[in-house]
Chain A
Amino acid sequence: MNALVPLPILLSLATAIVTIFLGRSLRGKIVVSLGGGGATFVTALFLLWTVWSRGPVVHAMGSWPPPFGIILVADLLSSGIVLLASGVAMVALCYSVGYVEEEGQRLAYHPLFHLLMMGIYGAFLTGDIFNLFVFFEILLISSYALVAFAGEDYQLEASLKYATINLIASAAFLLAVGGLYGVMGTLNMADLSLKIRQLHDAGPLPTIFLLFVAVFGVKASIFPFYFWLPDAHSSAPTPISAMLSGILIKVGAYSILRVSSVIFVPLWPDVQTWILTLAAITMVIGACGALAQSDVKRLLAYSSVGQMGYIILGLGIGTPLALVSTLLFIVNHALAKAMLFLMAGVVIEATGTRDMGGMGGLARQMPWTAGAFLVGVMAIAGVPPLFGFFAKFLLITAAIEAGYGFLAALAAGLAIVTLWYLFAAWQQIFWREGNGHALHAPPRLMKGPGFVLAGVIVVGTVFLNPVVNFLRNVEAQMRQPANYVTAVFEEVSHRSGPSEESK
């Protein structure tokens, strides 16, 4: 059963390799690429189901027992987010088939996409800090290439900026890893969790923890490390924008969640104020930045910055309710923002401009697109029937309960700003008097995937109770890092026990 854990990573790698060697056969590449994506999605479903029924599953790479070898750990949090990532990736892949020009697909698009996914799954599943660094680099270098994929000047510049900031972050990551190893003598997350508990004097560990938060903050685009995001996310090809904004920035939030809930538990009070402050500033910057945009993709990118502020805020408050709201935000933002980017891509394809001033009145010609876009807008802005509302409601309740009245007021105030700029954007694109330009009909494959995501959001809202119950379970498991540690070290006893073959 354990072999299930590395399977999403291996499937993505295998798909990437096969698509490289298919040469210039377009049809073959598309079939293999979609097949690989679909297989990964099914594997992720199966993995989540296994973890749900049996508790955390651990796989020791190369059969080296922890803490010496690299281990992969699937608990509810990691397998849940792998499923989310593989679902969004599948949708983005279908969209890519219609969107990316044929020549690009014949060349390197599909291999790069699957390498990106391999890095993402790896970062979610790994139980080793240095391995996390390696998977980060895999997903980053694929995303640099994908941002610059079409080779326009602005894409190359955005990719260069993105690579520069992330290369500095990687150096900082190595510093943090070096410091951590110097102090603790191990890099296995479960082992670190045990050893930090026994430590009497924290020494330089709070600084190292803060360095990790900063490094992951660059990926999660929290203030002051957000400035690369609006360029990179708006310049990338549309399906890649959806992946970057939907899933990739969540890798940063997930990593902060992981290191703070498993490793640095006793040190949490030292950095909480920092995280809360940065989250508050991020929310303000994202909302204000989005207000000033006229380019639809830049607006969505700035909105991602603001939403990451909410996600990090819930994480910073750290009460069970706040963490459930953070998880709900992650699900909501991954689905809704990916869908908004895909729909924005459809609109840009139809009108030939990214400037919202040049659009208008599209609701008459593309009523379904307008409707789906509205669902996304309502989900992100948190309009009551959709579950974005419940995420915000839980977060504000949690903030008041924990005694952060000011942050609750700020979150509520900025929710109104979010509502304002998103509805203003929708109104500008779809509602007001059109300028009567002829529209190009976008390929059908570009419209379908967005509707799938819109459908998932609506269905998720209908079944809100099971979703929230599931997230409560995820949170309860996160709160007990002992489970994680036991699962990892039980792996050792299982391997030495006689029952290994039957397992």
Chain B
Amino acid sequence: MTTLLAMTIGTLFATGTFLVLRRNALKVIIGLSLISHGANLVLVTSGGFAGNRPPIIGPGGVGYVDPLPQALVLTAIVISFGVTAFMVVLLYRLYQRTGTVDMDQIRRLRG
């Protein structure tokens, strides 16, 4: 399980970093949300995520995982969703005004 999670986290960060380095600002935003997902997954894993155990104490008090990281991740997901939505709006506004989402061209228009 740990290996699988580690590989998933690595793939998310690698793909995200690749996309963030693109010139197309929309791809940058998608890359950013992939990186956030990678970070969220790290946070879940830090609580000893095991896949089939619930985050509440069951009968006998055995076989549960730490619920705190999952609560933190919920918060983090909501925040990253909000920020991503804001960035998409910002980019759309920029696209309306400049007619492009290419960061190099946007910078050139600015002079």
Q: Which residues of A contact B (CB under 8 A)?
A: 130, 133-134, 137, 140-141, 144-145, 148, 151, 153-154, 156-157, 159-160, 163-164, 167-168, 170-172, 174-175, 177-179, 181-182, 187
| Contact present for A157 and B36 (CB under 8 Å) | no
Give chain B residues whose Cβ lies under 8 Å from the Cβ of A151: 93
The residues of B that contact A170 with a CB separation of less than 8 Å are 36, 39, 79-80, 83
Interface residue tally of chain B, by bracket? 35 or more
Report the bound CA distance from A174 to B41 in whole Å: 10
Q: Please state if A181 and B110 are interface contacts (CB–CB under 8 Å).
A: no
Tell whether, in the assembled complex, residue B39 and residue A178 are in contact, meaning their CB atoms are under 8 Å apart: yes
Q: Residues of B at under 8 Å CB distance from A? A: 20, 25, 28, 32, 35-36, 38-40, 42-43, 45-47, 68-69, 72, 75-76, 79-80, 82-84, 86-87, 90-91, 93-94, 97-98, 106-107, 109-110
Most buried by B among A140, A144, A145, A178: A178
The one of A144, A177, A181 in contact with B90, judged by C-beta atoms closer than 8 angstroms, is: A144
- Give chain A residues whose Cβ lies under 8 Å from the Cβ of B75: 130, 134
| Partner of B87 from A133, A163, A179, A181 at Cβ < 8 Å | A163
Q: Is the CB of B80 within 8 A of A177?
A: no
Q: Residue on A with the closest CB to B97?
A: A153
B10: min CB distance to chain A, Å: 13
The interface residues of chain A lying within 8 Å CB-to-CB of B39 are: 170-172, 174-175, 178
Of all chain A residues, the one with the shortest Cβ separation from B87 is: A163
Q: How far is the CB of A88 from chain B (nearest CB, A)?
A: 25
Q: Which residues of A contact B83 (CB under 8 A)?
A: 137, 140-141, 144, 163, 167, 170
Give Cα distance in the complex from A141 to B84, angstroms.
10
Q: How many CB-defined contacts (below 8 Å) exist between A and B? A: 98
Smallest CB gap from A147: residue in B: B90
The listed residue (A141, A148, A178, A182) touching B82 by CB distance below 8 A is A141
A178 to B43, Cβ gap below 8 A? yes
By the criterion CB–CB under 8 Å, are B90 and A148 in contact? yes
Whether B106 pairs with A157 at a CB distance below 8 angstroms is yes
In the assembly, what is the distance between CA of A419 and CA of B83, in Å?
Answer: 39
Q: Are A137 and B79 in touch, CB under 8 angstroms?
A: yes
Q: Which of B69, B72, B84, B94 contacts A156 (CB 8 A)?
A: B94
| Contact yes or no, A164 B98, CB < 8 A | no
A66 nearest CB across to chain B (Å): 14
Q: Contact: B107 with A175, CB < 8 Å?
A: no
A156 contacts which chain B residues (CB < 8 A)?
A: 90, 93-94, 97
7 further interface pairs, Cβ-Cβ under 8 Å (given A134-B79, A153-B98, A178-B39):
A134-B75, A153-B106, A156-B97, A157-B110, A160-B90, A170-B79, A175-B42
A159–B90 CB distance below 8 A: yes
Q: How far is the CA of A133 from the CA of B78 in the complex (A)?
A: 13
CA distance A134 to B72 in the complex (A): 10
Residue of B nearest to A154 (CB): B110
Chain A: CB-nearest residue to B76: A174
Contact between chains at A167 and B93 (CB < 8 Å): no
Q: Which residues does chain B contribute within 8 Å of A167, judged by CB atoms? A: 32, 35-36, 80, 83-84, 87
Chain A residues within 8 Å of B43, by CB: 174-175, 177-178, 181
Q: Report the minimum CB–CB distance from B37 to chain A (whole Å).
A: 9
In the bound complex, residues from chain B placing their C-beta under 8 Å from that of A145 are: 86
**Please, which residues of chain B bring their CB within 8 A of the CB of A178?**
39, 42-43, 45-46, 69
| CB nearest to A137 among chain B residues | B79
Question: How far, in whole Å, are A177 and B42 apart by their CA atoms in the complex?
Answer: 9
Could you list 22 A-B pairs, sorted by A, with CB under 8 Å? A137-B83, A144-B86, A144-B87, A151-B93, A153-B94, A153-B98, A153-B106, A157-B110, A160-B91, A163-B90, A164-B20, A167-B87, A171-B35, A172-B39, A174-B39, A174-B43, A175-B39, A178-B39, A178-B46, A181-B46, A182-B45, A187-B68
Complex alpha-carbon distance, A164 and B75, angstroms: 19
Residue of A130, A141, A154, A172 touching B86 (CB-CB under 8 A): A141
Q: Which residue of A lies closest to B44 (CB)?
A: A178
Q: Closest chain B residue to A171 by CB distance?
A: B39
Inside 8 A of A187's CB, which chain B residues have their CB?
A: 68
Given contacts A157-B106, A167-B36, is CB(A179)–CB(B46) below 8 Å?
Answer: yes
Across the A-B interface, the 4 shortest Cβ-Cβ residue pairs: A182-B46, A174-B39, A171-B39, A178-B46
Residues of B with C-beta under 8 A to A171:
32, 35-36, 38-39
CB distance from A186 to the nearest CB of B (A): 9
Give Cα distance in the complex from A168 to B82, angstroms.
15
A160 vs B90: C-alpha distance when bound (angstroms): 7
* Measured CA separation A446–B46 after assembly (Å): 51
| Bound: A141/B79 CA distance, A | 9
In the bound complex, what is the Cα–Cα distance between A140 and B20 (angstroms)?
Answer: 20
* B86 proximity list for chain A (CB < 8 A): 141, 144-145, 163
| Cross-chain contact of A174 among B28, B42, B91, B97 (Cβ < 8 A) | B42
Known: A177-B43, A181-B68, A181-B69. A168 touches B35 (CB 8 A): yes
